[in-house]
Amino acid sequence: MDGTLIGETMKIKGEVTSKETLQLNGELEGQVELDSRLTIGPKGKASANIKAKEVDIAGSVQGNIDAAERIVLRKGANLVGDVRTAGIVIEDGAYFKGGVDIAKPSGSEASAKKS
């Protein structure tokens, strides 16, 4: 796996900013801003506002998510908060409570039409 792993026994409070992918298997409280993907494992817990390119959740999240490309809620995921994304996948067995704002994908499509 490339990127950073936050292990099951780790608890982080504060602001996390990175250009790398992040795998969260522990607990995180605060704010997350990534230029890449955030993966929250089945035992991962985030009480945070999240901004990332892509967010893949198998654990639990309490907070708002802004994902440029997509959000995936895996079976067993628990998400309470509003989401803003270009695409969302919710598997059977995932729990989601909140609002969804589907945004147009930014970048490649818009620039292709201009040329």
pLDDT digits (tens, 9 = 90+) for 17-65: 999 999 999 999 999 999 999 999 999 999 999 999 999 999 999 999 9
- For the chain, the helix, strand and coil percentages under 3-state DSSP, each to the nearest 5: 5, 55, 35
| DSSP, res 27 | E
Write out the residue range of the structural domain in which residue 109 sits.
4-114
The total number of residues written for the chain in this structure: 115
Q: What total number of domains does the chain contain?
A: 1
- Both tokens assigned to 94: 């995932």
0.75 surpassed by pTM:
yes
- Both tokens assigned to 19: 């250009």
Supply the pLDDT for residue 87.
94
Measured CA to CA, the distance from residue 91 to residue 14 in angstroms comes to 30
Amino acid present at 28:
L
Q: Provide the β-strand partners of residue 54.
A: 37, 70
pLDDT, mean of residues 83-100 = 96
Is pLDDT of 115 > 70?
Answer: no
